[in-house]
Structure formats: C-alpha cells, structure tokens
Amino acid sequence: MPEHTAAADFAALLRELKDRSGLSYGVLAKRLHMSTSTLHRYCNGDAVPADYAPVERLARLCKARPEELVELHRRWVLADAVRGRKGAAAAETPPEEAGSGTGPGQEASGAAPPAEAASAGAPPAAPAGADTGATPAPTRRRTRTAVLAGIAVAAVAAGVALAVGLPGGGSDGDGDGGRHRPVGAAGVTAEGTAPASSSPPSAAASPSSPAKDKGPARTPAGSAPAGAPSGEGQKSGVPVTVRAEPYAWESPCSQRYLADKPASEMKPPPLEEGAAAWVAAHGAVSSGQQYLRLTVQGTGPETVVVDGLTVRVAGKRAPLAWNDYAMAYPGVGCGGGVQTRAFAVSLDSARPSLTPEPGNEDFPFKVSESDPEVYYLTASVSAYDVDWYLELKWSSGDRSGTLTVDDEGRPFRTSGNKGRPAYEFPIGGDGWVPEGTTKLE
C-alpha cells in the first residue's frame, strides 16, 4: 500500500472521530499532553505517531466504539509499516551518493570507485578530462585512511567482545542475543528449524533480582525480531510477524507494578507510552496482572491462518515481597472496556490457557500484510511470581510453524501482590503515599 494512501486512511478515521466528538484541537491536545500542532499533523495525515498509545487515548476521548478502535489500530499498523520500510530504504543509501566528491563523469566512464581501487592496490581513477598526473585530494586520502583504521578498530573490538562475552572464549551463533531487539521481540521458528519448545526463553531469575538483570536468552535458529520489516520475515521463510507490547494498559486503574525500592526513590507514575522505560528504570514487575497488546501481520499478500496462542510457563516462585505502586492518580476516572479479540489467562493455574473474553471469538483468525489482527491478553496471578511466554501457531498453504513471543528475548514476568505495601501518587503531590490515605476534595 502506498505510503500516502496508508497515512491518509489512518488520518481520515482519526479526523472523523475528532470531528464527531465536538471537541477542539486545543482541548484534545491538552488532555493528551501534546501540542496542538502535533495533533493537527496526525489528523491531517502529515505525520504518523511512532507509538499507538496516544492514538488509542485520543480515540477513547472521542468515544470511539470497539470496532472503530480495532479499525484505527489496523490503519495505524499499515501506515507505520510503510513508514518503517521507507526509513529502512533511506538508511541503506550509500554515503557516497550524498556527496562523496565523486566527479560527475566518473560513473559514466566506468572508473572504479575509490574503495574498489584501493582494494586492487591501484590509485582511484580520475574523472574524465581531469589531470591524471595530479596528486589525489588530501581529503579523499584521509577518508580512506579513516575507513581502514575504523575497520581495524572494529575487528579488534569484535575479538575482545568474543573473548570477554562468551564462556571459555567459544563462539556463539546468537548474534546480539536479543539485547538490541525492540520490546516484545519474538523468536521465530519456521518449519525445518528446531522446535520453539525445545529452546524456551532464559531460565527464571531469583525473586530478589529485577527482570532487567536476567541475561539475554538464546533464540532458535531462523529467529527474527517481532515487528520486523516484511522483508526480514520473508528472508527467514516466515510469512507472519508479531509485535508485542508487554506494558500496554487496559486503563491506568488496572495497572500496577511491584518494585524493590522505597517510595522515596520512585518516580511519579508515567503515561502509558513511557511505561516500558519506567519499568526498566525501577526494575519493576507487573503486579497482579499484565496486559499485552499483540499485533499480528502477514509479510505478503498471501493469507496466513493464526491457529492459536499457547501459554508456556518458564518458572514459578513465591510472590515478590516488594512494594506495590498504582499507576492511577487518586480521583481520576478510568475508562476502558473489553476489546475485540480479547483473551484472559490465569497464571495461577497448573496449566494456564487463554480463554476468549465474553462476546469474543476464539482462534483461528486470518491475517495478511494488508489485514493485520490485534489481540489483547490479560494475564492474572495472585499466588505466584511467574515467568511465562507465548507460542503462536501459524499455517499458510503447505507451510506451518511457531512464533515464540516474549519480552526482548526474556519471558514476561507477572507477580501476585496480596498483602504487599501499596502506594499511590496524589494529583498535585510531590511523592508517593500509602494507598487509601489521600483525601479527595
């Protein structure tokens, strides 16, 4: 889908919701904590938000119906994917094309670029009509020297990293181990590779260690990050991608986090789009329940059937004995409601399994590049501290496989919070206070 069409379709629905609400750009922008000009650009199609959270908040302020929320998310996914492909293409443009000093007649004359000439041990060819006896420009010579020096430094750094980072100085085929993948990276296991269940996410960390301290997990051969550009899925032979948002909120009132820090060291509650950074900064863990938003999209025009989602438990322990922090400000109303494609799971069960929320259909569903699906999962727990992940089964024609969906190569982590000290952050206050002690005027 052309970029302008995807962005225009997204903006059209956003503008329709805004106009129907009867609220001005200024009022909406103030409630969304963004500038009026930014909101104008979103509704006019001049820009596509990098995160979906502000879009969903805008839609809810405009009283969007459940089916409209689903359609709005679908259009945002398409517009965001097209923008991502455009950005990737720009990043692949060689720096030489942006003014490397190449003469206008060099390419036409068939002369080798400076890098090729250097590798052949010959000086670079001069442009047509130039004085071949002239000394090469100092700037170009310094550039080649800097490039060669950079390559040497990179090689040495790679050797040191291998010697320090791998046990016994051995080799490892995991690349970056998932440390640089986006939130919600999903290991991909296609037909012909090792089964996902034979290579689960990393082992559970001890209750005293924050989730971010757990080491990167090994991912199966043929793995790719969730939400990767379509080309990556096609290269690995997997016709579907998954983008997981493990720190989405159904509403601020339903979201809480456990942290092994006193209230005096905690920052104020974040907005939803800042939740992942807030969690990482405090080593926090989802408390009582975790709300996941999964966007599943095909990598091509063919139809892919999503046969089901399976919950896998990687470890169970006693609930964390940490402080419990509520994300909602006292006295602030909370909206929300059951979404389409919504599921629930109790992690306290011996064999946790997803069940559709009332009024929702169960698997299978169909997706393609132009018709993504969004699934909302509410995982609840009270008696344990649980490490868990998901396995998404797909099929397309005579092919089938499994995607392992987790949190940046590590399991999702959700802990019970019964009896834990609970805190809230009053509006206009300057710190956390015990929950229930705030007096509303």
pLDDT in tens, 148-165: 445 544 444 444 343 333
pLDDT digits (tens, 9 = 90+) for 97-113: 444 444 334 443 344 44
Mean residue pLDDT across the chain: 73
Helix (H) or strand (E) holding 366: strand 365-367
Q: Flag the least confident range among 11-20, 158-167, 324-333, 361-370.
A: 158-167
187 in Cβ contact with 411 (< 8 Å):
no
Q: Report, as an integer, the average pLDDT of 33-55.
A: 86
| DSSP designation for 54 | H
At residue 196, the pLDDT reads: 39
pLDDT at 391 over 60: yes
* CATH fit for domain 3-90, picks 1.10.260.40, 1.10.3720.10, 3.40.50.300, 3.90.45.10: 1.10.260.40
What does the domain layout of the chain look like in residue ranges? 3-90, 186-434
Portion of the chain with pLDDT greater than 70, in percent: 61
pLDDT at 4 over 60: yes
pLDDT at 223 over 60: no
Q: Report, as an integer, the average pLDDT of 70-86.
A: 81
pLDDT digits (tens, 9 = 90+) for 275-322: 999 999 999 999 999 999 999 999 999 999 999 999 999 999 999 999
Which residue has better confidence, 296 or 215?
296
pLDDT at 330 over 70: no
Which residue has better confidence, 342 or 183?
342
pLDDT at 166 over 90: no
At residue 220, the pLDDT reads: 35
Residue 177 pLDDT grade (very low, low, confident, very high; cuts 50, 70, 90): very low
DSSP 69-129: HHHHHHHHHHHHHHHHHHHHHHHTS-GGGGT----TTHHHHTPPPHHHHHHTTSPPPPPTT
By the 10 Å C-beta count (0-12 exposed, 13-18 middle, 19+ buried), 36 is classed as middle
Residue 398, CA distances (Å) to 305, 333, 369 in order:
12, 50, 19
The token pair at 184 is: 């919600």
